[in-house]
Amino acid sequence: MIPRIGILFLTSGWFRQVGLQSSSSSLSEMVEEIATEIITKLKVFADIEYHGIIFSEEQAGRDAGLIGGAEVDGLILAPLMWCEDQILVAALQHLQNLPILLCTFMPDKKLPDFLSFDEMLKGSGSVGTLQMSGYLKRAGYLYRSVSGYYKDKQVYDEIETHCKSFLVRKKLSTAICGVLPYHCDQMLVTHVNDEVLNARYGIRIKYLQLKQVKVLAQSMTMDDINDFKRYLSKVKIEVSDENLNEGVRYALALEQIVASENLDILAINDVCDEIHESFGLRPCLENPHLTVRETVICMEADASAGIAMYLIQNFTGKRPFYSELLNADLQNNALLMGHAGYHNAVNADPGIPVKIIPDIEYKNAGGFGGACTYFKFRPGPVTAVNCIFDGDRLRFTVFEGESMPGSEVLEGNSHLLCKINLPIKNFYKTVLDLGVSQHWIVVPGHHAKDIGILCDWLDMGFFRVES
């Protein structure tokens, strides 16, 4: 999906009334050319709702009504010349509760030695943004700003990040997080306040019954199981048919639960006794159908981590990897990161086969030995995100690093060895003094700066761990 953005380009009606934009002046034509080029550049990454440059209250109300009817994710507001506040107010009264990106598009890279009055007016949009910022702040609108030369790629890269944030913000407001079956008593930092999360962000927490999943799993036929096994043709299988079949049953059962409950996130409390007693295993065999559906799955009922996975996936377009900091290699200044449970193998190192192995934590616990998707994370730049509920809101802690190449380095759990720039000792002091959880969401690429912009729009705390 791409964001749908409403555009409000404003100019002054008064300039026209006093003849500054008369037919003998090229001012209107110059501003129109700038607007056309800006729209062309915005259309590269956004679905645009735009009805022309606005210069009257009547036009502002009409165009804003059309934008509001288009169900946009957010607004780009840019006075291309100075503009009366009445025109702005006439537009925004039809567009309540939308996030606003206030843009100052500079029309010139360099000013001439002597500036004509018309050329000065062409650049007077900065007067408008300065004036409007005070009104927007006082009136309580949610807005942020971007400024720069209207031809610069960096300006549009920054705008794109804000527009993606609008879309993610809107999606979060209707998201559903399933918890199976309840919060994790052993890890208090993973607990959240459902009502606060719903009131602040719109997300809903839904608690699920183990019996629902078990009944679905046991209803699967051998035809269902064999159909699923066709997805495993390129995977190295190191479990018995009995364990694989049972793993497939629960992979299919989770798919049906996710669909029937319309879940965007599934947080499984895999360390409660009831889940193993009921299922006889931990459900951790990857289901490609859930990948297509874009549902994220995390373990230990960590709803905050699951929400972070959902946000990061929608924001970056890349699949998140649920992990925790297991150990450290002090000599290489690298963190060993991995976790038992469900993982998406799209992140696997292409040079090392993906395997299905017994669940190393439960293989001797009775019942089934399990069937876990196991891999080493692909090498390259990564971003790691920690997310906790601090009692009032969600807070992100973020660092960047490099997933190191090489062979598998950890038995039993999907994993990566992540090299960072900050000395390990300093890293631990920083995050421990801040207060975090053990769970970190890893995604390919370096995204820390952009994630900071996302958190700002979402009213979430943000801290970047840097060298």
pLDDT tens readout for residues 5-39: 999 999 886 566 555 555 545 777 888 999 999 99
Q: Which residues pair with 77 in a beta bridge?
A: 8, 102
**Tokens at 119, concatenated:** 């050329």
pLDDT of res. 69: 95
pLDDT of res. 368: 76
pLDDT of res. 20: 58
Distance of CA 106 to the CA centre of its chain: 30
Tell me if the bond preceding 381 is cis, omega within 30° of 0.
no
**Tokens at 43, concatenated:** 């259309």
Question: Which residues are CB-neighbours of 66 under 8 A, at least 6 positions away?
Answer: 49, 51
In 97-175, which residue ranges form alpha helices assigned H by DSSP?
117-122, 125-139, 153-172
Say what the pTM is: 0.94
pLDDT tens readout for residues 56-109: 999 999 999 999 999 999 999 999 988 899 999 999 999 999 999 999 999 989
pLDDT of res. 14: 59
Distance of CA 250 to the CA centre of its chain: 28
pLDDT of res. 12: 80
pLDDT of res. 9: 97
Instruction: Give the single-character DSSP code of 317.
Output: S
Taking the CA atoms of the chain, what radius of gyration do you get in angstroms?
Answer: 26
Rounded (10°) angle between helices 57-69 and 85-92: 30
Q: Which residues pair with 174 in a beta bridge?
A: none
Tell me if the bond preceding 181 is cis, omega within 30° of 0.
yes
**Distance separating alpha carbons of residues 448 and 22, to the nearest angstrom:** 48
Average pLDDT of the chain is: 94
pLDDT tens readout for residues 369-413: 889 999 999 999 999 999 999 999 999 999 999 999 999 999 999
Our CA dihedral for 441, 446, 447, 449, rounded to 10 degrees, sits at 120
**Distance separating alpha carbons of residues 90 and 62, to the nearest angstrom:** 9
What residues of the chain score a pLDDT lower than 70?
13-25, 365-367
Q: Which residues pair with 417 in a beta bridge?
A: 336
E strands present in 55-139: 74-79, 100-106
The SS3 of residue 324 is: strand
pLDDT of res. 361: 82
pLDDT of res. 111: 84
**Structural domains for the chain:** 4-172 (3.40.50.10940), 176-464 (3.20.14)
**Tokens at 365, concatenated:** 């616990």
Our CA dihedral for 351, 357, 360, 366, rounded to 10 degrees, sits at 180
